[in-house]
Amino acid sequence: MVNPTAAMLVIGDEILSGRTRDANMHYLAGELAKHGIDLKEVRIVSDDEAAIITAVKALAGAYDHVFTSGGIGPTHDDITADCIAKAFGAHLDVRDDARAILQAHYDTQGLEMNEARLRMARIPDGAELIDNPVSAAPGFTLGNVHVMAGVPMIFQAMVASVIPKLTGGQPMLSQTLRVMRGEGEIAGPLRLLAEGYEDLSVGCYPFQKDGVFGANVVIRGTDGARIDAAMTELAKELEQ
């Protein structure tokens, strides 16, 4: 069985300008790995209609799922819903189900439903709403694209509600061996190991700490017994 594939599209000038460090990608990557969905590609684009539409079309055509973050709030720079609708040729307008959710939330909070807030009830025809337990304004799934908020707390809540509904695969398992030798010393054995275990991914991630070179060797795959076997072989090889 081959795991489903996914891509992520991060939308936001604030990431590309260096103002904000994205936190959502790392979170999504971890959640997808647990659910057996392979994250294959991430793109980050600015709040620009053409850039968003181009990226959504490319990713939705290439992968089983696309997860977007950012650009679904009430302000003028929140254009994600418009772009997704255009990418799919879907009609976009205020939808009664989304409006009712927002109205109930604002009533509770004693806030007025103004024009800006109503923008967040604009949902493409045919999309399914994604629950937002933090601030009510829903995300949505249209086709294979899951449109979520950029604020990390809301993004995470939306991921938690979307992922369990998706068909997963075999969770990606991994083991790490921390080696206090430079990559150049262990590259030979690692290559042989990778060739002997083509069903696994053998990665080597160097670090330098207090002037000493070391590397984390990470063996990844879906078969725990195979990872055990490879790791045992590696540990024995590097012991010599």
- Residue 210 is a binding residue for a second copy (CB under 8 A): no
Rule CB under 8 A: choose which of 94, 97, 178, 207 binds a second copy: 207
Q: Which of 126, 199, 205, 232 binds a second copy (CB under 8 A)?
A: 205
Nearer to a second copy, 38 or 128 (CB): 38
Site for a second copy contains 212 (CB under 8 A): no
Q: Does residue number 79 form part of the binding site for a second copy (CB under 8 A)?
A: no
Please report whether residue 99 would count as binding a second copy according to CB under 8 A: no
Of 125 and 185, CB closest to a second copy:
185
Nearest distance from C-beta of residue 122 to a second copy, angstroms? 13
Q: Does 196 bind a second copy (CB under 8 A)?
A: no
Which residues, numbered 100-139, are part of the site for a second copy (CB under 8 A)? Answer: 111, 114-117, 119-120, 134-135
Alpha carbon distance 229, 148 (integer Å): 40
Interface with a second copy (CB under 8 A), residue from 49, 191, 196, 228? 191
**Site for a second copy, residues 27 to 66, rule: CB under 8 A:** 28-33, 39-47, 51
Secondary structure of the chain as H, E, C letters: CCCCEEEEEEECHHHHCCCCCCCHHHHHHHHHHHHCCEEEEEEEECCCHHHHHHHHHHHHHHCCEEEEECCCCCCCCCCHHHHHHHHHCCCEEECHHHHHHHHHHHHHHCCCCCHHHHHCCEEECCCEEECCCCCCCCEEEECCEEEECCCHHHHHHHHHHHHHHCCCCCCCEEEEEEECCCHHHHHHHHHHHHHHCCCCEEEEEEEEECCEEEEEEEEEECCHHHHHHHHHHHHHHHHC
Contacts with a second copy, residue ranges (CB under 8 A): 13-22, 25-26, 28-33, 39-47, 51, 73-77, 111, 114-117, 119-120, 134-135, 151, 153, 172, 174, 182-188, 190-191, 194-195, 201-208, 213, 218, 220
